[in-house]
């Protein structure tokens, strides 16, 4: 039943399609019309005499070379380097100084009566020395950039190095005292566990004349 309905629809649509084909053939063809060269298109606006048309402003890029150092490299070409790049190194040195101060505070407040704390203290002192050396390198770069801020950064790096060395001496002293204390406890334990009758007696046979069997 369904197949018969579909075939009937096809038979009904075929005559309609045959009737519409001649109508479509009579319609004018639509082609893109291009004006000949030298002639304006129909949709272009032609200004009147004396009328001025404002041209749209085009974005422009302006470069201020007053704060830029221009380097003519034979292989890499033209290189633009900012004259204020020393500010970045001042900021980096400031961050390193703050981190080093925090490490020194931790190193000074850490108790040194345990082996684990001594190991951590040695580790922090090494990091502090490394940060002080980085601050020293920042000062050298500031001098290379001809910035007077290196005069302030260089003494700070020296002070950081001196403070780290002082705290390292304290850690070393605590380490030595702790090792001496452990050695004394070990000797006491050995003396307490050994038999006193088997302990050696200082002296020679001549120290007791009445007990000298040679006389």
pLDDT in tens, 74-104: 888 777 777 777 888 899 999 999 999 999 9
Structural domain contains residue 196:
no
Structural domain contains residue 144:
yes
3-state secondary structure of 75: coil
- Where in the sequence is the domain holding 99, given as residue range(s)? 85-182
Structural domain contains residue 28:
no
Confidence (pLDDT) at 66: 72
Lowest mean pLDDT of 39-43, 74-78, 178-182, 193-197, name the range.
Answer: 39-43
Please determine, for residue 153, whether its predicted confidence score (pLDDT) is greater than 70: yes
Q: How many structural domains is the chain composed of?
A: 1
Confidence (pLDDT) at 196: 58
Token code pair at residue 17: 């399609």
Residues 105 and 164: their CA atoms lie apart, in Å, by: 10
79, 71 Cβ separation under 8 angstroms: yes
- Give the distance, in angstroms, between the CA of residue 131 and the centroid of all CA atoms in the same chain: 15
Structural domain contains residue 167:
yes
pTM of the model: 0.54
Q: How many residues does the chain have?
A: 215
Structural domain contains residue 5:
no
Structural domain contains residue 75:
no
Confidence (pLDDT) at 125: 92
Structural domain contains residue 94:
yes
Please determine, for residue 179, whether its predicted confidence score (pLDDT) is greater than 60: yes
Structural domain contains residue 20:
no
Lowest mean pLDDT of 56-60, 140-144, 180-184, name the range.
Answer: 180-184
Range list of H helices, the chain: 2-26, 86-109, 115-144, 150-193
Residues 174 and 180: their CA atoms lie apart, in Å, by: 10
């Amino acid at each position: 039943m369904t197949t018969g309905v579909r075939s009937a629809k096809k038979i009904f649509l075929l005559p309609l399609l045959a009737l519409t084909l001649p109508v479509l053939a009579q319609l004018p063809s639509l082609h893109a019309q291009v004006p000949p060269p030298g002639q304006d298109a129909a949709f272009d606006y032609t200004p009147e005499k004396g009328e001025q048309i404002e041209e749209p402003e085009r974005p422009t890029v302006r470069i201020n070379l007053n704060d830029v150092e221009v380097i003519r490299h034979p292989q890499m070409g033209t290189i633009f380097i900012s004259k204020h790049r020393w500010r970045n190194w001042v900021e980096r040195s400031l961050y390193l100084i703050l981190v080093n101060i925090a490490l020194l505070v931790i190193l000074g407040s850490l108790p040194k009566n345990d082996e684990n704390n001594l190991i951590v203290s040695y580790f922090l002192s090494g990091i502090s020395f490394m940060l002080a050396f980085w601050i020293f390198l920042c000062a050298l770069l500031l001098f290379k950039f001809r910035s007077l801020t290196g005069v302030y950064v260089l003494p700070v790096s020296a002070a950081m190095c001196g403070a780290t060395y002082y705290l390292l001496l304290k850690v070393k002293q605590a380490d030595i005292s702790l090792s001496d204390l452990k050695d004394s406890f070990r000797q006491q334990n050995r003396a307490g566990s050994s038999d006193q009758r088997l302990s050696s007696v200082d002296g020679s046979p001549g120290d007791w004349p009445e007990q000298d069997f040679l006389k």
